[in-house]
Amino acid sequence: SIQRSTNSSALESFKLSRLNYLLAALPSDAWLIFSDVDELMSYPCDALAQLAASEKRRSHDAMCGFMHGRLAADFTIPPVVARTPIQQQFPLCPKESLRGYKPKAPIHANPLKITLIKARINGHAPAYLNAHKACAGAFLIGGTPQANNHCLFNGHFSHYTWTSEAHDLGTRRIADKEYTDVYVQSARLSVPCNASDAASSLRCLAPRWRG
């Protein structure tokens, strides 16, 4: 498949190209949800009403949220199991996100994602610049947490990135030199605390991060 045969940086570029082609082809009154397979985005029932009200006051044509990593109960990095709700497989939710810009964040990276975006903004079809940021003409959406990002903030959503599948993909991306710092930081949390403990280094952070 293209997923396995393509350098991950090239695959990311191909994915964004196809995504932007889709956005440009959508009707002007459409809305798009763009999420990775490990992201379970959630919304208030009146999300569109909130956006409509906010658009009149603060030019919001998109919603954004923070990724919040979910962990297995034993702090291992297990594979995802079919036919078992993923919330049950990864029941722990750290009291703070493992990803962020705070000095003590285990993964120093942008936690903000665009969770919902309008198909036309100021007459332009938005184009994703990367997984966290888009533009509509000269109008930027997303990018940095809550700083002139033209997003209506929608809280946190579950990010199921501490799985063996995600770990394998991260290892491949390190080899491809894509987002190397982010994936190297993640990889450090995927190894055992010590030789006698099968759990990942996430357990070492448990007193501070487990909620």
Check pLDDT > 90 for residue 30. Answer: yes
Q: Are 115 and 157 in contact (CB under 8 A)?
A: yes
Higher-pLDDT residue of 65 and 181 is 65
> For 31, which DSSP code?
E
The angle at the Cα of 203, spanning 82 to 41, to the nearest 5 degrees, equals 45
Q: Are 61 and 135 in contact (CB under 8 A)?
A: no
Write out pLDDT tens, residues 109-168: 888 999 999 999 989 999 999 888 999 988 889 887 666 788 888 889 999 989 998 888
Higher-pLDDT residue of 169 and 5 is 169
Amino acid at 190: S
Check pLDDT > 80 for residue 20. Answer: yes
**pLDDT at position 97:** 75
Write out pLDDT tens, residues 160-197: 989 998 888 888 878 877 767 777 788 778 777 776 67
Write out pLDDT tens, residues 36-56: 889 999 998 998 888 888 766
**pLDDT at position 188:** 79
Amino acid at 74: D
3-class secondary-structure state, position 148: coil
Check pLDDT > 60 for residue 3. Answer: no
Burial (0-12, 13-18, 19+ Cβ within 10 Å), 29: exposed
- Nearest to residue 90, comparing CAs of 30, 164, 194? 164
- What pTM was computed for the model? 0.84
Helices 164-175, 8-25: crossing angle, 10 deg rounding: 110
Question: Of 2-11, 16-25, 137-146, where does the model show the most confidence?
Answer: 16-25
Check pLDDT > 90 for residue 86. Answer: yes
Q: Are 40 and 160 in contact (CB under 8 A)?
A: yes
Q: Which residues contact 100 (CB under 8 A, 6 or more apart)?
A: 66, 107, 108, 109, 111, 145
**pLDDT at position 2:** 46
Q: Cα(first)–Cα(last) distance of the chain, in Å? A: 39
What are the backbone dihedrals phi and psi of residue 66, each rounded to the nearest 5 degrees, phi first?
Answer: -95, 135
